[in-house]
Amino acid sequence: MHKLLTDEPGKKMLLLGNEAIARGAVEAGVAIAAAYPGTPSSEISLNFFQMSQESELYFEYSVNEKVSLEVAAAAANTGVRAMCIMKHVGMNVAADALMTLAYVGVRGGLVILVADDPSMFSSQNEQDSRYYAKLSGLAMLEPSTIEEAKDITIRAFELSEELEEPVLLRTTTRINHSTAVVTCGDISPPKTKGDFTRNPMRYVTVPAVSRKLHVRLLDNLARAEETANQSSLNFTEGKGNWGIICNGVSYTYVSDAVQELGIEEKATILRLGFSHPLPREKVNSFLAGCDRVLIVEEGEPVLEEAVKALAQEKGKLLPIGGKSTALFSRLGEFNPALVREKISAWFEVQETLHDKQEPLIQAELAPRPPTLCAGCSHRATFHAVKKAAAGMDVIYPTDIGCYTLGMLPPLGMADFLICMGSSTGTAAGFSRTLDKKVVTFCGDSTFFHSAMAGLVNAVFNKHNFTLIILDNGTTAMTGHQPHPGVDMEKHGLSGFGKIDIEEVVKALGVGYLSVIHPFKLNKSIKVLQEAFAYKGVSVVIAREICTLYGKSLKMPKMKPFYVSDKCQNHKDCIDQLGCPAFFVKKGRVNIDPDRCTGCALCAQVCPENAIRPVKTNDK
């Protein structure tokens, strides 16, 4: 049985933050969940997917975040509890549905988990999802610890049903990917079937209906603020007239810093776990007891601006610090030492040498630049593209996925990237304004997510570019989640459909379509040259299973290769491919047999045919 389905109230479990959130949803009786995978939220949906195989929970990987929210929204409006999971940039995709769903509201609890990524560990921007709470007029909760992540998820479902609105549950990477002991509670049996009474004047958002629903939303927002003012998620601790207001994981840094600096008798902390709408009554009361305030929040100055405005409205004159060149940056993730340093500076507390001591154990990590895996078929495709385009002036827009790593040398296959699915749309723009060949890339999951729409647009408007769909049979970068093109029977799962990308592309009316197997290098180059010569939209599907995914499916392993004595040390294999299975020892190229997957790409590049598969009698 999946560990998160353990029905033993009081049992203590060591859980990842994302596991704690999934457990909280199970305890709350979630019946429907939907997601598009995205780090740092990926493990939530993975656990839902696994649990759905052995419980009443319905979970799906939707084609994108907007669709997943639409699935969850409809279910919640039949009275069941539903959840939608995404990372922060996914909220941009879901925003169209979110804005109007806030008007319509829900009947069963609907929790929308959005995971922000300060420092961009795996994202293309650092946007702060709290602005979406303000923009949509929806309540937002933010946990500060792993245990609270579970409990606050349950509270989010309850709050959603109280307000009859979706509730945004915001996390940041440190909450998602930290581990702590969590105490299990009771599991509420999910209500899996609901009902729906037709009422177009309530649920069909034509202008005449929406005007009334906007009034309803604002009324609910006022109710939410009343609840926030009374919520135990918004609390104060400590005493003294130095005020610190914080949210999310920043609270734990602040709490530690106050103790380490020995200012417990001077500083009072206001932790906002129910952060939107701002509990103005509670904040006003807090400010009344302060003569100096510091706002500690990762990301944008959302709380800072709101608190300053509130102080101004009340005619309260006091220094309020937050984001500035001397204090906290809008860039990156906080850490305990940083928060302690800024608190010390703002309140003019002298840090002792002991205070400044860094952790005793500081491992010196070896530099590890991001790279495509050894044996990744994308490397073969990129090399084939480079060979096929030799002598041409080419620009390479790309997309979100493993293939983004193709930007790095020696491949250099990425010139422009803005968001998920943008490969086809941006390629169209470049093809209209540049006298260059445009070759763009997207993955199989990305194709279904949103790149497909740009391809439809390109065919209709007769743009001129080549799209290469890197079909490796899974959503690789986020951990091998399924998408509509995945054969789920390989996982021993039935009841799923399968959509063939090739048939979809044909149906869209693309003028040139071909499929290559990129490890067959010369054939691939020839096909790509044909595609590049085509005037109009051409599509090449580079089909080869993700090497790590194939390993997880226990597919046959190929023999590794080695560098024989024929090698004249040109190093073309390293200089052209950059496969991490290569290493140089005493000036000579070698292949790590434990990393080599036997793809044979390097053997096809070597000018002396010096790279050979390992045989029994080879040394």
Terminal Cα distance for the chain, rounded: 47
Domain end marker among 553, 570, 598: 553
CB 542 within 8 A of CB 441: no
Q: What's 586's DSSP letter? A: T
- Quote the pLDDT of residue 477: 87
Domain end marker among 553, 576, 591: 553
Query: In whole angstroms, what is the distance from residue 609 CA to residue 563 CA?
Result: 9
Burial track 505-537 (b if 16+ CB lie within 10 A, e otherwise): beebebebbbebbbbbbeebbebbeebbebeeb
Using a pLDDT cut of 90, give the percent of the chain over it. 90
82 and 105 assigned to the same domain = yes
Tell me if 358 is assigned to some domain: no
400 and 331 assigned to the same domain = no
| Nearest by Cα to 298 from 340, 330, 269 | 330
336 and 382 assigned to the same domain = no
Per-residue model confidence as pLDDT tens digits over 191-221: 999 999 989 999 999 999 999 999 999 999 9
Q: How many CB atoms lie within 10 A of CB 384?
A: 28
- Quote the pLDDT of residue 581: 95
What are the two backbone dihedrals, phi and then psi, of residue 481, each rounded to the nearest 5 degrees?
-80, 150
Domain end marker among 180, 208, 230: 230
How many domains are contained in the chain?
A: 4
Tell me if 361 is assigned to some domain: no
> Residue 617: which pLDDT band, with cuts at 50, 70 and 90?
low
Is the model's pLDDT at 353 over the cut of 90? Answer: no
222 and 244 assigned to the same domain = no
Say what the pTM is. Answer: 0.91
Tell me if 97 is assigned to some domain: yes
CATH number of residue 515's parent domain: 3.40.50.970
Tell me if 619 is assigned to some domain: no
Is the model's pLDDT at 472 over the cut of 80? Answer: yes
107 and 171 assigned to the same domain = yes
**Nearest 5°: CA angle at 13, between 11 and 18?**
130
Is the model's pLDDT at 332 over the cut of 90? Answer: yes
154 and 241 assigned to the same domain = no
Tell me if 372 is assigned to some domain: no
CATH number of residue 592's parent domain: 3.30.70.20
Burial class (CB in 10 A: 0-12, 13-18, 19+), 404: buried
206 and 254 assigned to the same domain = no
**What's the Cα-to-Cα distance from 73 to each of 22, 59, 94, 95, 105, rounded to whole Å?**
18, 14, 11, 13, 9
Range scoring the smallest mean pLDDT among 88-92, 390-394, 407-411:
407-411
270 and 210 assigned to the same domain = no
- Quote the pLDDT of residue 616: 61
Is the model's pLDDT at 540 over the cut of 90? Answer: yes
> Residue 619: which pLDDT band, with cuts at 50, 70 and 90?
very low
68 and 214 assigned to the same domain = yes
Tell me if 142 is assigned to some domain: yes
| Nearest by Cα to 514 from 381, 357, 402, 355 | 381
Tell me if 366 is assigned to some domain: no
208 and 316 assigned to the same domain = no
Q: What's 448's DSSP letter? A: I
Token pair for 324? 């500035």
170 and 217 assigned to the same domain = yes
Mean pLDDT across the chain, nearest whole number? 94
- Quote the pLDDT of residue 121: 87
- Quote the pLDDT of residue 352: 66
183 and 55 assigned to the same domain = yes
Per-residue model confidence as pLDDT tens digits over 597-608: 999 999 999 999
- Mean pLDDT value across residues 444-466: 96
Query: In whole angstroms, what is the distance from residue 451 CA to residue 398 CA?
Result: 11
- Quote the pLDDT of residue 359: 53
CATH number of residue 248's parent domain: 3.40.50.920
- 569: domain range? 561-613
Query: In whole angstroms, what is the distance from residue 317 CA to residue 222 CA?
Result: 27
Per-residue model confidence as pLDDT tens digits over 476-507: 988 899 999 999 998 888 999 999 999 999 99
